[in-house]
Amino acid sequence: MAVRPQRIQDGVVERRLRPIYDWLDNGNNKKALQEAEKVLKKSPTLQAARALKALALLRLGKTSESHAVLDALVEEKPSDDTTLQAMTISYREVHQLHKVCEIYEAAVKVDPSNEELYSHLFMSYVRVGDHKSQQRAAMALYKFAPKNPYYFWAVMSIVLQAKTADDSTKRGILLSLAQRMVENFITDNKMEAEQEARLYIMILELQEKWDNILKFIEGPLYLQLVPGLTSQACIPYFKRIGEWKRLNLLCKDLLWENQDRWDFYMPYFDSVFQLMTKSGTDNYVDDTPEKCHEFICLIIENVSTDRPLRGPYLARLELWKRLAKDGDPTSLLGSGVALCVQYLRVFANKPCAVPDLKVYLSMLPQKEREDHSKDFLNCLGFDENSEPVNANDIQKHVSCLYAWRLTAPVGSAEENLSIARLLRKHYLRCLEQGLVTSTVTEFCAADNYGTLAAHHFFYAAMEQEDPAPILEALNLLELVLHHSAANFHAKLLLISLYHVLGAAIAADSIYCKLEVKNIQLVSLGWIHAARLAPALASARALRLLSDTCTFHKHHAKDSVEQVTYAYKFGTFEKVVEVWEWGGRIGGCAWCATCGRERALLALLAGPPQPPHAPQRLPQTPTDNRDLNAIVSWSSTDGDRALYKSRSFERDVAYLRLKDGLLSAIVLCIECADNRNAEEKSSQLEELRKCISAFGSALDSCRHVYGERERISVSAPLPSRIIAFVTSPVPYRELYTNTLLMVCEICAGSPSAHTYAEQARSTIVASRTELAAHAQPTLWGNRDAFEFFSNYLEFIGVITFLLGVCNEYLAPAHAKKSKKKTTHSPEQIKTTETLNKLNDDVQTTITILEEIFEKWPTFSYEASLEEELAKLTLTNKYHSPVVQKLKSGFEEVLTDVKNNLKKKAKYLKSLQ
């Protein structure tokens, strides 16, 4: 949208420009251009109208004309805010933020006392991250408009210079300067806002001057600027300087007033355990476990029994956990199991009860935990067959069931199936009795019977390697979602379970209901988008990968604008936070993977356009996946953080392989031009090195990542690198021979024939592996699809590269000429070799078409419909699972066959 003028002196001009703004805001850029032309006919020199014309031209795709208008305006050095704001929008949309700095630098020279222009100049430097220029602009602004925000803009700019400085000496000098600047304001009694005090503390923190921070916080100025927060503000700094007695006393006082504040309990425990190692005793501080336990018990006794608080009860568990690290806490606190059971007994009516307990249950000795697992189930008088009849009792029953399953020993497939069917029976009973009371925005406790049952169906399926339990889980979860549209746990489970069967289209129907947007594309989108391509859903994969790439492309602009708002509102802590968050998204491994996957997948299923050189991989890729959104109730899932880091390592290795492959393809395109071999020798050498590095990396990955991963419904499916490097298809030879063939053709080398022959023989040999994966069962369908997705990706690459070679050997001007062109014997031989390779690829495509034409149809038997028929329900429900699976597989297979037909047609056109 266009930014409307904040003030225009001439009312006539304002009336003339208003229609242009209206059309720009409505997205009708053609009309906006016409209105701008009308205004310029009457006032050809009106700068604001010309700037808006440039913006309309830009949005119409007429970039060169837009830049011509902008360049002419830059020469005139405009200084009115309307023109400059319109020019700023244009430059932001083409990602030329440095030019915004230039136009405002020129503007402040024309009008050096304009506060608003200087403010915009400062913000333009913020957008490009030029912290030194920010400082200079802020100080210039403060000189003729002495306001506190401008002064602290300069201080914050110095702090950012220090944070980005490589030299520790320079960093120290800059921080000392920032500290002196703030202290001058303190001396002159000019500080006015809380954020100014927080900025001063930030500066001292960066210098690790903890005593100075405490002195400032305990002084009268901080109390004046930040009333009521002095005590708790001291907590982190007492820990830093080791003032454990003061910390202990402070936390005790705070906890008496705020018995449920967990952020006060943790430093309290830190102080207790530090004081335990010190000599001497003090009657006023808690320096022994006994005193600590007594204090917690006093808090519990002091809390109202009508509304118990979780904090004190969890505090006893935390004390037990810390004592258990170096000794036996049972003499003081009793059994850890008993404490957990007591907590559950008090708070089982809260959905957070078992998530609170999970961390402490994992600390219990395994045998003790398993031996007493039934205590969790029976602690409130329930058992697995209980039938609660109200929402509160259902939540208590569910909590007891959760805790029981988390602590019970690993069951057999039959046991898991038995539990799953029992839980399904509970859900269906609640449905029949009207106890499923979900709303449009909330879900109910009874839903948890269904989700827990689905987990146990999955455990049984993994044990038996049988898809039947997964089909039961899918049918049940679809029923849960039908009655509880807001239940995101059911949605995430459905997506994972559909992908276990390779049913990407069915999973996509659920993913659309999640309405994943913006940052969730990064934190949660991988759960689905990463599995579309290996499930052969190429078209949908391209769409979602494109959405993620678009978000990644624009996140920098959005985060920069958030930084400018942080300056405007004086929230200096947010300035650092947003910069760091922007860097984290900028280095996101998943976003980098999306860009490369999209470019390679488009060679098979996208529009026929050459891929562009990928942006350089981030030096340290970041993992922004959020696994905590996916619940798990298995006692065997182990350390999720370890699984996450291991899967991330594999995903980064896969990303580097794809980056090398895409880089080699782009170099092939660059080398296939009409320059002679000497002129492009450096690029050819770079291409050879890239191909060699790709082959070596693939070999090393085969040794490191050759083991299959255990599938978990609560974690990412195994990384694609495993199927790629363990495939019996020799992808190293297929890719390297094809790429080297293109390289040597572009170099005019006769060795191109050798590489072409090697590529032909490898393709022919790989056909035997295709037949071996052609008739999978439903359980093996996901693996079969992933196997063929890797092979189809190669088909897309070699088809594209054959087209590159054809264009190189038969330039466009030769095709248009009616005269018969003469070719050298070497060219004729090369063409013949390429035609033979082309024939082999077409034959392989024909074999693939036959495989997908004869792809097996599966049986989808489930018992939910029979169970529903026994109930007295007013609304008849039909499960959509079977239809989703059938139509989804049909859509995928049709899409693959259409893509193969297009490739075969294209290859025939090259001969």
Q: Answer yes or no: is 142 within a domain.
A: no
Domain boundary among 839, 856, 873: 856
Domain boundary among 112, 141, 156: 112
Domain boundary among 52, 77, 112: 112
DSSP H helices, 569-639, are: 572-586, 589-605
Q: Answer yes or no: is 753 within a domain.
A: yes
Mean pLDDT of 747-772: 91
Q: Structural domain of residue 826, as residue ranges?
A: 640-856
- Reported as a pLDDT band with limits 50, 70 and 90, residue 231 is confident
**622 bridge partner residues:** 588
Distance CA 639, CA 631 (A): 13
Mean pLDDT of 31-48: 90
| DSSP state letter for 639 | -
* Cα 780 → chain centroid: 29
Give the pLDDT confidence score for residue 832 in this predicted structure.
Answer: 87
What is each CA distance from 850 to 627, 720, 782, 844, 846, in whole angstroms? Answer: 40, 25, 19, 10, 6
CATH code of 75's domain? 1.25.40.10
Residue type, 425: K
Give which of 377, 416, 414, 424 is closest to 399, Cα–Cα. Answer: 377
For 365: left if phi > 0, alpha if psi spans -120 to 50, otherwise beta; the answer is beta
For 612: left if phi > 0, alpha if psi spans -120 to 50, otherwise beta; the answer is beta
Q: Answer yes or no: is 10 within a domain.
A: yes
Is pLDDT at 125 greater than 90 in this prediction?
yes
Q: Answer yes or no: is 869 within a domain.
A: no
**588 bridge partner residues:** 622
Q: Which residues, other chains included, contact 694 with Cβ-Cβ below 8 Å and sequence gap of 6+?
A: 657, 660, 661, 664, 735, 736, 739
Mean pLDDT of 97-122: 93
* Cα 842 → chain centroid: 39
Domain count within the chain? 2
Give the pLDDT confidence score for residue 401 in this predicted structure.
Answer: 96
Higher pLDDT, 202 or 714: 202
Q: Answer yes or no: is 80 within a domain.
A: yes
Distance CA 762, CA 115 (A): 71
Give the pLDDT confidence score for residue 3 in this predicted structure.
Answer: 44
Question: Token digits for 704?
Answer: 């490191």
Distance CA 606, CA 369 (A): 54
What is each CA distance from 327 to 218, 291, 320, 322, 358, in whole angstroms? Answer: 39, 17, 10, 9, 21
Distance CA 603, CA 404 (A): 51
Instruction: Say whether 400 sits in a helix, a strand or coil.
Output: helix
Distance CA 653, CA 662 (A): 14
- DSSP assignments along 437-487, one per residue: ---SS---TTHHHHHHHHHHHHHHHHHHT-SHHHHHHHHHHHHHHHH-TT-
- Reported as a pLDDT band with limits 50, 70 and 90, residue 85 is very high
Distance CA 116, CA 113 (A): 9
Mean pLDDT of 144-153: 93
List, for residues 552-608, the tens digit of each pLDDT value: 888 877 788 889 999 998 899 999 999 888 889 989 999 999 999 999 999 999 776
Residue 75: half-sphere exposure toward Cβ, Cα within 13 Å:
6
Q: Answer yes or no: is 771 within a domain.
A: yes
pTM: 0.91
Q: Answer yes or no: is 844 within a domain.
A: yes
Distance CA 597, CA 535 (A): 14
Higher pLDDT, 737 or 628: 737
Is pLDDT at 781 greater than 70 in this prediction?
yes
Mean pLDDT of 423-435: 94
Give the pLDDT confidence score for residue 12 in this predicted structure.
Answer: 66
Distance CA 230, CA 324 (A): 34
Higher pLDDT, 214 or 640: 214
| DSSP state letter for 350 | S
- Reported as a pLDDT band with limits 50, 70 and 90, residue 533 is very high
What percentage of the chain has pLDDT greater than the value 90? 70
Q: Answer yes or no: is 246 within a domain.
A: no
Mean pLDDT of 202-209: 96
Is pLDDT at 821 greater than 60 in this prediction?
no
Q: What is the 3-state secondary structure (H, E, C) of 782-845?
A: HHHHHHHHHHHHHHHHHHHHHHHHHHHHCCHHHHHCCCCCCCCHHHHHHHHHHHHHHHHHHHHH
Question: Token digits for 804?
Answer: 């590159």
Give the pLDDT confidence score for residue 13 in this predicted structure.
Answer: 72
Distance CA 149, CA 145 (A): 10
